[in-house]
Structure 1
Amino acid sequence: THGSSTQFAQPVSLSACVTPARGPATMSIPSGLKRFLSCFPARSSSVTGATVSDPDGEDIISGLPDDVLSSIVSLLPINDAARTAALSSRWRDLWASNPLVLDDIDLLLNNPSHVGAVTSTVSHAITAHPGPFRSVKLTCYFSDADESTLHHWIRVLAAKGVTELVLNNIPWAGLDLLPCAILECRSLQRLRISEWRFPDTSGAAAVLRQGVAALPRLRELVLRRSIIQEQDLDRVLASSPKLKNLVFVLSRGAPAQVRLSSRSLWCVVFWQSVVEELAVVAAPLLERIILRTSSSPCGINGKDGSCMRIKISSASVLQALGYLNPNYHELQIGDTVVKVVPDAVVPSVKILALSIQFGVPNKARMMSCFLRCFPNIETMHIQSIPDRGATSKNGNSDFWNEIDSVKCIKESINKVVIHGFRWENCEIEFLKSILEGGNVLQKIYILQDKNVTVSEGAINGTLSLLASLKKKGVIALMILAGQDGIWSYEMASDVSRNDPFDCQS
């Protein structure tokens, strides 16, 4: 309901997005085309002078424009697309004339116990197609003895201008080192690798000395469960003058240090990934540092209690940072390590995300320290970390009194989003402090932990209490309650999203 100053919404269940499971591709080419043709009206219709007749007819869509036929081919599984030449003379050259889109999951589903046949089909397809290659996704299940096949694939992809490449490795097959030929894919704009060791880039260093970029078009690099040495990462950054997104997914300890020195880098993401130190050395365009960690981190190299130091030396346009977690993130701005009262600030940050154990006073106190480092925050995201001890239920936390004196709380924060809310007293005390101190606060989003059940009466009572604390002079205040959405590293690094932590849109 809409009121003059406050809006309430009861928690709602977000419907899950369900994608039908993909089964083995067993349809023949004619049946695949019949499915496409079923989208047309049953009656005959004229398309550029040709009649689309019953799907059982002989040559039913040969009159369609080449761009329409090309679209059909691009949507077919690779096996079917390559065989369209058998349909008619109109289709004969369509597959070869289209940029290749190849995802070998179609082949694997069709031949789950014959990986040799899949390898042969992939080799034939990339050799037969003249290029360019738009998007190629391959699953590598090679042993050391088959290493030459992978080398051949990458050399062909490099020669025929692959734009997007995804290489998923099956490490127990025996091969784990990515071929150096990957550095010859000068047309690459997006590279995603999984379960690989990145190759030695000393060759790229020689290219750089000649003033030539090794990966001149690369815009996104995603390393999932992959290992890259520090010097190799430095060289990749230096040899990729258009790199915007650098993403680590489920990576730990290698590299131990990440030094961001890049004139193009816009976003770096550590998704369930940990290093000893992330240092922003020289990144004049860096706007986002995204940190996603589990609620029970095992530390670096599996050692509990180790901290990841985040050093911000040069980031003049940094706008979004988080989730910072005082449990295992140590923040350093310039030469100052933030512990109690910060002596350095980063005024450019507009969106800050924090992970806080509200029921643990010494952890919760770090929140005000972090907030003082960023005086111009406009949007604050808070991830409430559950604490299984008795203190998690306590709400008598006097230290929250200092929150309302923090500059950004009083002068700039207009939106607060709290994730994983469990309606506990310590969380409610925090929101009361924010409401009492926030002079420009306009919106509060309370996103409930999906594993928590709270009565409707208790929720309404809490929302009414919070609404009653609205400060005089605030024209409108919205307090919305719902359930948290699903956040992904693709969302966090998406340049089109204004708020990388927003998982509701």
Structure 2
Amino acid sequence: MSSGPSSGLRRFFSCFSARSSGGVAGDTASDSDVDVPHGGEDIISGLPDDVLSSIVSLLPIKEAARTAVLSSRWRRLWASSPLVLDDTDLLLNNPRHVAAVTATVSAAMRAHPGPFHSVSLTCYFSDAEKHVLRRWIRVLAARGAQELVLNNIPWAGLDLLPRALLECRSLQRLRISDWRFPDTSGAPVLAQGAAALPRLRELVLGRTIIQEEDLDRVLASSPRLKTLVFVLSSGVPAQVRLRSRSLRCVVFWHSEAEELTVVAGPLLERIIIQTSSLSCGSGSDGNRMRIKISSASVLQALGFLNPNYHELQIGDTVIKVGKKVVPEAVVPSVKILALSVQLGVRSKARMVSCFLQCFPNIETLHVRSIPDRGANSKNGNSEFWKNEIDSVECVKGSINKVVIHGFRWENCEIEFLKSVLEGGKVLQKIYILEDKSISVSEGGVNGTQSLLASLSNGVELMILAGQDYGIWTYEVASDLSRNDPFDCQN
């Protein structure tokens, strides 16, 4: 989605000084209304139309519409450029006059003939004014909107999205926040099994309530959908069943469900789960999110799996400590695995080898070290980790890169790395991302580095200061152009 104009574009626009304060493209002005800067030399107007159209499309709606009052040429350029509309600037400039903002948005939509490239709207209507949103969405559908963001201010009183949203057949990217998704059972197109959203490639549901059957219908009616993202969503839907011939990536970003099941995902490459300490309940066995992989033959990246919050089931086998992994519970296609583990808590740490045994061809392993509030994490146990890692084939035969996130130089972390260095036959790189909130003596760090270096046998060791949590966003995680969705360093 458009992230807003740069300061350079704002400086560009300041070259103009429209005598009229007109706010929408329907206002009129003569060609002589342009104040030409720099001693009368009109440099800007000498640019080709396609360059000027690109510039206008990147301006905030208020400033873009102002160009239309400069001259007939600018009016033509604004109307001929795909509309990019974001009402954020309007709201920030008129926080107490939302009616004026609504009128400006409505006027811009009326004045522009389309197509609409990207539209971002913040809805602040009461239930009595829901007709305004319905009208906007119908205009978006009629004018071929490609990208749409719908943010809601729920305390205004309107929380249910209009069903007209399902008529926006031109949409390629849709992001909605703080809404209840419309009931799809009565939508004629969905009921007939046709493609209601035939071009949709990305769907982001932020704090949005969607019923299980509605999500099923949306997946079934979006034949080009590649990316599905849940952001800050809690328990609705309780079960997410992925049945899609096009889906390549699903993300749970600080979101929870009782169960995520890959029913049929012939193209599904990535399952990304970012879990905070506040999500997924208490972490007890009866309150964990079950991740069931039934059919995902090309799955390449999975994580962060956390034994506190997640239960992994492959086929009919639930992965548990002490339970032998059978051939039917192996996913050979996974190349990148990410784990969040309390390495100092033996009952949790043992799940590392359990998970690793399910993915025999891992090439990159990410481990987020979770601190244990007790004293266990201070203690290392070399024999424990040696026994755990020695039994894992992928450590010996396929893992060539290990990344430790949130490293605090504690003995349990050091012993884990030692076991990987000693057991990894094809290991090439270890990246250590330090926890910036802790303080460790220089002597302790140097001593550990020397110890690890003595075991490295040519393995590249790289220590990077600071955590990467702040720059790992759901946009980064869901970016299919990135080779490793968990890597924020490239």
- TM-score where L is the length of structure 1: 0.87
CA distance in 1: counterparts of 2:13 and 2:81, whole angstroms: 20
* Aligned ranges 1:65-76 → 2 under 5 Å: 65-76=48-59
* Structure 2 residue 63 is matched with structure 1 residue 80: yes
CA distance in 2: counterparts of 1:310 and 1:292, whole angstroms: 14
Q: 2:332 — aligned with what?
A: 347
Provide, for residues 137-180 of structure 1, a one-character-per-residue CA deviation record: whole Å limited to 9, x for no partner: 11001110110101111110011000000000001111110111
CA distance in 2: counterparts of 1:247 and 1:282, whole angstroms: 18
Q: 2:27 — aligned with what?
A: none
Q: Secondary structure of 2:16's match?
A: helix
CA distance in 1: counterparts of 2:310 and 2:280, whole angstroms: 13
Q: 2:300 — aligned with what?
A: 319
Percentage of identical aligned residues: 75
Inter-CA distance 209–152: structure 2 relative to 1 (3 Å threshold): closer
The one-letter code of the counterpart of 2:425 is N
Contact 2:152–2:177 at 8 Å: present in 1 too?
Answer: yes
CA distance in 2: counterparts of 1:419 and 1:29, whole angstroms: 43
Contact 1:295–1:385 at 8 Å: present in 2 too?
Answer: no
Q: Which sections of structure 2, spanning at least 5 residues, go unmatched?
A: 18-34
Displacement of 1:61 in angstroms is: 3.2
1:124 to 101, 107, 111: 107
* Aligned ranges 1:214-293 → 2 under 5 Å: 214-293=196-275
Q: Which moved more, 1:451-460 or 1:174-183?
A: 451-460
Contact 1:299–1:305 at 8 Å: present in 2 too?
Answer: no
Q: 1:422 — aligned with what?
A: 408
Q: Secondary structure of 1:417's match?
A: strand
Contact 2:184–2:190 at 8 Å: present in 1 too?
Answer: no
CA distance in 2: counterparts of 1:502 and 1:29, whole angstroms: 36
- TM-score where L is the length of structure 2: 0.90
Q: 1:435 — aligned with what?
A: 421
The one-letter code of the counterpart of 1:451 is S
CA distance in 1: counterparts of 2:330 and 2:477, whole angstroms: 24
* Aligned ranges 1:203-218 → 2 under 5 Å: 203-204=186-187, 206-208=188-190, 210=192, 212-218=194-200
Displacement of 1:79 in angstroms is: 1.3
Q: Secondary structure of 1:330's match?
A: strand
Q: Which moved more, 1:135-144 or 1:210-219?
A: 210-219
Contact 2:368–2:406 at 8 Å: present in 1 too?
Answer: yes
Displacement of 1:467 in angstroms is: 1.3
* Structure 2 residue 291 is matched with structure 1 residue 306: no
* Structure 2 residue 446 is matched with structure 1 residue 460: yes
* Structure 2 residue 357 is matched with structure 1 residue 375: no
Provide, for residues 3-27 of structure 1, a one-character-per-residue CA deviation record: whole Å limited to 9, x for no partner: xxxxxxxxxxxxxxxx99999x9x9
* Structure 2 residue 389 is matched with structure 1 residue 408: no
CA distance in 2: counterparts of 1:438 and 1:465, whole angstroms: 16
Q: Which sections of structure 1, spanning at least 5 residues, go unmatched?
A: 1-18, 35-51
Contact 1:361–1:397 at 8 Å: present in 2 too?
Answer: no
Contact 2:363–2:401 at 8 Å: present in 1 too?
Answer: yes
CA distance in 2: counterparts of 1:324 and 1:373, whole angstroms: 13
CA distance in 1: counterparts of 2:152 and 2:207, whole angstroms: 10
Displacement of 1:90 in angstroms is: 2.1
* Structure 2 residue 316 is matched with structure 1 residue 331: no
The structure whose RCO (Cα within 8 Å, separation 6+) is larger is: 1
Contact 1:135–1:164 at 8 Å: present in 2 too?
Answer: yes
The one-letter code of the counterpart of 1:459 is V
2:432 to 446, 461, 466: 446
Q: Secondary structure of 2:14's match?
A: helix
Contact 1:484–1:503 at 8 Å: present in 2 too?
Answer: no
* Structure 2 residue 174 is matched with structure 1 residue 174: no
Q: Cα RMSD between the aligned structures?
A: 2.4
Contact 2:171–2:199 at 8 Å: present in 1 too?
Answer: yes
CA distance in 2: counterparts of 1:189 and 1:98, whole angstroms: 18
Contact 2:284–2:309 at 8 Å: present in 1 too?
Answer: no
The one-letter code of the counterpart of 2:292 is K
Q: 2:344 — aligned with what?
A: 359
CA distance in 2: counterparts of 1:298 and 1:255, whole angstroms: 14
Q: 1:192 — aligned with what?
A: 175
The one-letter code of the counterpart of 1:213 is A
Displacement of 1:88 in angstroms is: 2.0
Contact 1:484–1:504 at 8 Å: present in 2 too?
Answer: no
Q: Secondary structure of 1:451's match?
A: coil
